[in-house]
Amino acid sequence: MEVLDLEGTSYTPKVVFDLKNKVFEITGDSRPEDTHAFYQVLIDWLSNLDGPSVSGELKFKFAFDYLNSSSSKFIFKLISCLKDLESKDINFYIDWYYDEPDIDMKELGEEYAELVGIKINLISVEI
């Protein structure tokens, strides 16, 4: 499977999905003009992962500086898509980074974990 590598902009997060190196990161600001178009590419990429071709444990890192409400909806869909990987026998874990004083971002990670029924590691970062 090819690498998905999208440079971040002032409106979109940096995305690296690299199966070979087991690097899956979404970092930065997320407020794209067309949220559906941006995130559907990521959801489609993950949906095409095939259990037998994936070895080892995959690490997903989410580290947003800013996340608008329409992006939040698609991050929920993306994390739901990750939950579906369990049925394909793909092992993974999710790290959710948030700036220590940003309680809203921490609570958003907690909410995703509860709604999707998945464990998310909440990691506080000092700014």
pLDDT tens for the chain, 127 residues: list them. 689 999 999 999 999 999 999 989 999 999 999 999 999 999 999 999 887 778 889 999 999 999 999 999 999 999 999 999 988 889 999 999 999 999 999 999 999 999 999 999 999 998 7
Specify the pLDDT at position 5.
96
Question: d(Cα 48, Cα 1) in Å, to the nearest integer?
Answer: 9
The whole-number pLDDT of residue 54 equals 86
The answer, as to whether pTM is greater than 0.85, is: yes
Domain edges within the chain? 4-125
Specify which residues 112 forms β-bridges with. Answer: none
Q: Per the structure block, which two tokens stand in for 87?
A: 């049925």
What's the CA angle centered on 112, arms 88 and 8, to 5 degrees? 85
Architecture of domain 4-125: 2-Layer Sandwich (3.30)
Instruction: Specify the residue for token string 């199966």.
Output: 19
Closest by Cα among 82, 25, 27 to 49:
82
